[in-house]
Every structure is written in C-alpha cells, then in structure tokens.
Amino acid sequence: MMSYQIRLIFRNFRRNRSSFFINLIGLATGFACAILIFLWVADEMSVDKFHETDKQLYQVLENQAMSQGILTQEWTPDLLARNLASEFPEIKYAVAVSPASMFGNFTVSADDNNLVKAAGQFAEPNFFKAFSFKLLQGNPEQVLSDDNAVVISRKLALSLFKTTESVIGKTFQWQILNIKRNAVVSGIFEGTPVNSTAQFDFVLAYEAWINLSETVGRKIHWGNHAPQTFLVLNEGADVKKLNSEISGYIKTKQTGSNVSLFAVPYSHRYLHASYTNGVESGGRIEYVRLFSLIAIFILLIAGINFINLATAKASKRFREIGVRKVVGSGRKALIGQFTGEAVILTFLATIISMLMVWLFMPQFNQITGKQLHLVLNASFLLPIAGICLLTGILTGLYPAFYLSGFNPLSILKGKPSRSSGEIWARKGLVVFQFGISVVLIASMIVVYRQVQFIHNKNLGYQKDHVIYFAKEGNVAQKLPTFITEAQKISGVANVSDLSSSLVGSPSTTYGMSWEGKDPLANINFEVMKADFNLIETLNIELAEGRSFSDKFGGENSKLILNQAAVDVMGLKNPIGQTVNYNGQQKQVIGVVKNFNFQSLHEKVNPMTILYDPQKTMTVMVKLKVGQDQQAIAGLKNLYARFNPGFSFDYQFLDVAYQKLYEAEERVSALSKYFAGIGILISCLGLFGLAAYASEQRLKEVGIRKVNGAQITEVMVLLNKDFVKWVALAFILATPVAWYIMNRWLESFAYRTTLSWWIFALAGLLALGIALLTVSYQSYKAAIKNPIESLRYE
C-alpha cells in the first residue's frame, strides 16, 4: 500500500512538472538560506560556551553614575578579584585578567633570538581553573603561581623553540614599549578556540602586570579601573543575592565612589554587550534575532508558493479526487496522500538545499567572517529533519484539506464552484509574500545608506593616508630621534604619537574639576595622551587656541579640550583657564572641534588631550597622497635600523575605522542576498500563478482578440490583478519596514535619514520585478492564436 502511494505521488509530480519544479526550486532555495542562517546562529550561540564552568562562570561589570547617565563598563579595580574571593563564600574562584585587547601585540623571543609578535595577557593563578583552555603541559593549579611564570600556546612554542618538548623551564622574553622582561615557561596550552572571545598566545602571571603598572607610573588603588574580573560561583549559589551584596562593595573601599557592581554570565556577554543607562539594551543578539526572523520569512515565502500553486492547480485533480472518493477513498486517506506529496517534495528540496549550502559555504564564510562547516552529524541532521518534516506538514495541510473537501458528485458532474474565501486566501498569501519582499528591499536600502553614511561622514579628522604602528624597542627609547628621521623620508608628511590608535575608546577619567563645577556632578572625560604634531598629523581642526609645540616650555602642565568638554564644563572663555586633572593643575591652551574618535554608535563625549609622550603607545604617520608605498618602504628601513630583528607591523587608520563597523558591513552584504532570494522565491510563485491565471482565461482572451483587442490591452487585463496585490503589499509593508529600520538606526548616534523615497523605491522595485514575472505569461497568452484559444476546452 505504501509503495502504491509513493508511486502515485511521483506520478502526480510528473503530470504537474511546472508547479513541481517551481516548488522544488523555491523550497530548496529557502531551505539553503535557512540552513546557512541556522549554522551562523548556532555558531553565534556557541561563543564562550565551551568552558566546563560555563554555568557558574560570571563576569563582574561596573555601573558608574555620571552626570551624563549611567556608564556600564567591564574594567574593574586591580584588587577586586582577590578581595571578593576572600569575603564572599558563594565565590569558588575569582580571577583578575588584563586581557590581550588592552595591548598591541607584544614582541617575544627566546634568548633574544627569533623575535615574533604575539598577543599576551596577564592573569591571576586560578585562570586555567576558571577557563577551559586546554593545558597540554603544566598543572592548572600551579602554572601561574610564580611571579615570573608564563604559559604559552602550542603554536607559539613551535615558533620560538621549534618544538613543544622540553620547553618547560626555558626562558621567555617579552617586550612592550621600551619595557623588556624575562619569564619562565611553566605550561603549554592548545590555543584559543575560534568560538572564544578571548584570543591570546600567552598568559603572564598577574604580578607581572602589577610590576608593569608600577614601571609606567600607574598607581594600584580602588579608583583605578583596568583589568577585568571573573568569578566562578559554587553550585547552587544565588546570583541575585550575590549581586545585591556586591553592588555597593567599591563604596566600602573608596569614599565617595559612584561605582556599583553586578555579575552577569560570562557567555552571555558576547551577544548582550550593549547597555544604555545601566540597563542591558541588546548587542549582537539583535542580529541573531534579525536573521532568524529572515530565515522564517524566507521559509514562509517558499511554503506560500506551495499552498498557492497546489490550490490554484486543483482543477486538474478534481476528476482524480472524485473517482477516488466514489471507489471508496476516505477523506483521511486523501489528506494523507496530499500531505505525503508535500513532505516528499520538502525532503527532495532539503537534499538539493544541502548541495547548495555545500557549494555556497565558502562565499558565506567570506561574507560573515566565520569558519562554518557542513557537518552531517546527528546534532545537525535531526533539527534539519524536524524542520523539513514540519514544513512539509504545515505547507501540505491546507491544500490537503481543501482538495479532499470537495463533494464527489459535484466534481464528476462538472467543475465545482470555488468559494470567495479560497480566492481571497490565495490573494492574501501573495500579498503577504510581497509584503515580506518589500520589507527586505527597504531594509537593504536603509542598511546600505547607513553604511555609506558611516564611510562618508566627516569625522573631524583625516583618516586617509595615515598609518600607525606600536612604539616599542629603540623606537620607544629614542622616539624624538626616530620622529626626526622619519620626517625626512620622502612621502612622509608628518609624524606624531599618541596613547592609542585613535579609533575606539581611549582611557577615561572623572577626576576633572574646575571653578564653578557642581561638587555633586560626576562627568566622564575621555583621555588621550599625545606628543607634538598630533593635531597637525590628523588635521584635527582647532576651534581656538593652539596645539602642543616644542616652541613653548612646560607643555606637561597644559591640556587641550574638545568642544563637547567645553560645553559640559560651561566654560565661556576656556583659553588660559586652569583646571584640576586628577590633583594636577593644568592650563587650557586649545579647544578642538568635536571629532569622532569613537564609533558612530556613540555621541562625541567630553575629551581632554594631554601632552605626555612617556605614556604614548602608538606612532602615527601622515603620508603624502600618491607616495604611500615609497614612504612605507622608507619607514620600514628606518624601523629596521632602530629595531633590528623586529617586524614592522603597521595598519592604515581608515582600515581600522572600517573594522568598527564589520557587523554593519556584513548585515549590508547579507541583506542584499536575502532580499534578492526573497524576491526570487516570491516571483517563482507568481510565475506559476500567472501561468495558471492565463490558462484559465484563454477562452476569454480569444474572444477579446476576435473582437479587436490589442496585445497590450490583453496584457493589462491579465496583469492588473497582480499589480493590485503587489500595491496592497507595499501599502501594508511600508509601516512595518519603517518601524524595523527606525529601531535599528536608533543604535547609531549619527545616522542617515529615513526618507519617503526609500520605501517608494522598494515598492517600485517589487512592482517592477512582479510585472516582469507575470508579463511573460500574459504576453504568451496575448499572442496565442485566438482560434486555438477558442478551441481550448
């Protein structure tokens, strides 16, 4: 019986080849998109989940009550971890980590030989007990217990020592800026997985961080926030209770502190990193939700094609249904057959979609920046099989109940009448399809415009033709000489140095006071430490005053403010006024116009620029237009003279700026593909419906042509219903698209405008594509010989 049913299903597929292939292509394309998105979402959800302590692993965050609102940050006092562990019994381990993201790459070597660049961080002894980075050699209880210990990755061990054997106990040399230290290898770990947010090549003992801080004059106290703090709680510990206990902990250590603490699951942070005024407000989870919704929409579009074509083509199966009912087939058997057809079609589409995923996986990885693989194991195949079965059943049920519900006598007597409800349901599904397509097209346009806005916005400084590199070795020790020599190189316009790469977040302070300041006000200032020529190198525009210059003395006692700082401080004539910076009296010598040193997600915050070349970490070089390669070659030779054996690793500032918006770039690229695929699948269904509608009206078309109707008149007749459906879809979809895109743009402090023409263009594109699709079928019907049309039926 089962084999008969299967043969019957495939016989019906063969009889209705056009609708079969339209559905097969639509479903396969929809499934391929859904599988790719499923793999991407699964990878995003797996980040930082591999730690054995995942359910007990938390990160401590700070809320700082500022006059601008509550600022949430992940940087905590150096002494916090060890104090929390000793005072709260719920905490099993506490670990302070100064992560690799705080530093540029270190220069490391073994016995002053084989200099390589590597990412390093500092961590307290419990690091390898709290985090599951696999140790190949060494005891997690002891590897970081000595002050000069270092644990290196297997890859770094091979680079430095050419082996992983007998490496324990060997000397490891690390250098940052002009500071050089030795450490002893105490362990080797496998390396960091790709689904880890923490990426590093070696881990130094935390005492090395304390010593480094003292060397550069950084004071260790409760008001200085630099490392991150992680907790492993005992099983069954009440996190809400712990958060209420630690909330005011900093205030017990530092009088007048405006900081409150709270702990969040560590693996939760990757997707939920955004906070607004102290409240979690999204992050990458928004993109996970967005693409999950797109996957559902694309599957819905493909499923609607099946439902519409199955009900539209029902007339060809009326006789089959009537005969089968007369000879005894019950409605349940018919429903089983039609649902079985949908499930088998979906199964075939799933197999084809797997091939499509395999073919397009490299391109998808390139767009998303992932390393996804199609692994056909149970954890992947079972959900896919479930989705396949569910999709087949859901798309097959309505046609099955619809087709099996006709009275056999009315079928055998002639064509049964169709209810207005069935016709309106089919039209409603087409409207829904194209409504989704309009939303996808409008979203694609808005995302593209925002990305272009980001690239083209005047940031207040010139990022093009600027390179930067770490200040280290003899370059750091003899920086004035290096800058003098660099400025002589052909193609170099200017050279300076500052505390960061400019792009991103500098360090911060709220230890600024001035005459007339409200004593209760806590205002956060971004801090940038610089050398001479910084403003000139980056073409930052001065509003008034001057920049730092060697023509004047005592620049260490001076500072420069941005306009946002002047505004928040309420200074009428800032030049010459004295402000207190963390207990030091400094004179304002200049005010720069606001420039976007942070992501455009953030407003320009108050900033102070200090002259402090001893604390700078990055050399900035402005290159002359058209002489980039010549200048870089000269800088490379000069760098090699100062730092023999060091690699000259530089980056372009505009490239670093673009990296701030990698997520937006990827969303822009993916939205183009998904919008195109949504339109393609919708048009496949519309193509089939247009063919059916033309076929149903062939006799009418023949009569009209005999009576003198022109081809264009016939085409307008056949097209106008489809145009009405798409127009209605546009009207209904526009408010939805506006709402979704307005919410997305709200995450940017600086954003493009939602102009009316964006949605009009989306509607026109959808309408134009729909017209091209149906016009082919209507043209075929319009040019058909009217004699043949009148013989039809």
So what's the pLDDT on residue 654? Answer: 85
Of 659, 684, 712, the residue that ends a domain is 659
Task: Summarize pLDDT for 394-447 with one digit per residue, the tens.
Answer: 776 766 666 555 555 555 555 555 555 556 666 777 788 788 888 888 888 888
Q: Both 369 and 472 in a single domain?
A: no
pLDDT for 1 equals 43
Does residue 671 share a domain with residue 634?
no
523 and 651, same domain (yes or no): yes
How far is CA 763 from each of CA 62, 296, 539, rounded to the nearest angstrom? 46, 22, 43
Q: How confident is the model at residue 7 (pLDDT cuts 50, 70, 90)?
A: low
**Residue 423 falls within a domain, yes or no?**
no
Of the pLDDT bands very low, low, confident and very high (cuts 50, 70, 90), residue 312 is low
Q: Which residues contact 460 (CB under 8 A, 6 or more apart)?
A: 540, 541, 592, 593, 594, 595, 596
Selection from 12-16, 284-288, 700-704 with the highest mean pLDDT: 284-288
Residue 293 confidence class, pLDDT cut points 50, 70, 90: confident
pLDDT at residue 153 in the model: 96
Q: What is the mean pLDDT of residues 172-201?
A: 92
With a cut of 70, say whether residue 321 has pLDDT above it.
Answer: no
Question: How large is the average pLDDT for residues 270-296?
Answer: 86
pLDDT at 741 over 80: yes
pLDDT of residue 490: 92
- Of 669, 654, 677, the closest CA to residue 366 belongs to 669
Residue 204 confidence (pLDDT):
96
pLDDT-derived band at 76 (thresholds 50, 70, 90) equals very high
Q: Which of the four pLDDT bands, split at 50, 70 and 90, describes residue 6? A: low
pLDDT of residue 198: 94
Q: Are 127 and 203 in contact (CB under 8 A)?
A: yes
Task: Flag whether 431 is in a domain.
Answer: no
How confident is the model over 737-758, as a mean pLDDT? 87
Considering the domain architecture, whether residues 611 and 649 belong to the same structural domain is answered as: yes
Percent of the chain with pLDDT over 70: 85
Q: How far apart are the first and last CA of the chain?
A: 35
Task: For CA atoms 539, 544, 548, 550, give the dihedral sign.
Answer: positive
> 201-205, 643-647, 689-693: lowest mean pLDDT where?
689-693
Last residue within a domain, chosen from 231, 247, 269: 269
Least confident of 322-326, 512-516, 595-599, 717-721: 322-326
| Residue 680 pLDDT grade (very low, low, confident, very high; cuts 50, 70, 90) | confident
What residues have CB less than 8 Å from 562, skipping those under 6 apart? 591, 592, 593, 594, 595, 604, 606, 607, 608, 609
User: How many domains are there within the chain?
Assistant: 4
The answer on 713 and 647 residing in a single domain is no
Same domain, 646 and 668: no
Co-location of 562 and 697 in the same domain: no
The pLDDT, as a whole number, for residue 641 is: 92
What pLDDT is recorded for position 637? 94
Residue 429 lies in a domain: no
Looking at the structure, do residues 557 and 411 belong to the same domain, yes or no?
no
pLDDT interval class at 94 (50, 70, 90): very high
Q: Is 426 domain-assigned? A: no
User: Would residue 703 count as lying in a domain?
Assistant: yes
Q: Residue 408 in contact with residue 329, Cβ under 8 Å?
A: no
What is the average pLDDT across 268-296?
87
Q: What is the mean pLDDT of residues 343-365?
A: 89
Query: 585 with 489, same domain?
Result: yes
Query: Do 200 and 66 have their domain in common?
Result: yes
Q: Is residue 565 part of a domain?
A: yes
* pLDDT value of residue 590: 93
780 against 734, higher pLDDT: 734
One-letter-per-residue 3-state SS of 206-234: HHHHHHHHHHCCCCCCCCCECCEEEEEEC
Contact criterion met (CB below 8 Å) for 458 and 343? no
Residue at a domain's end among 659, 694, 721: 659
One domain, residues 109 and 208: yes
Predicted local confidence at residue 15, as pLDDT: 64
The alpha carbons of the chain give a radius of gyration, in whole angstroms, of 34
Query: Is residue 430 in some structural domain?
Result: no
Residue 538: give the domain boundaries. Answer: 466-659
Same domain as 223, residue 193: yes
- Using a 10 angstrom Cβ sphere, with 0-12 exposed, 13-18 middle and 19 or more buried, the burial of residue 194 is exposed
When pLDDT is cut at 50, 70 and 90, the band that residue 262 belongs to is very high
Question: Residue 137, SS3?
Answer: strand
Please say whether the beta carbons of 63 and 70 come within 8 A: yes
Strand, coil or helix: 410: helix
pTM given for the model: 0.82
Residue 750 has pLDDT above 80, yes or no: yes
In a domain, 120, yes or no: yes
What does the mean pLDDT of the chain come to? 83
CB–CB of 684/307 below 8 Å? no
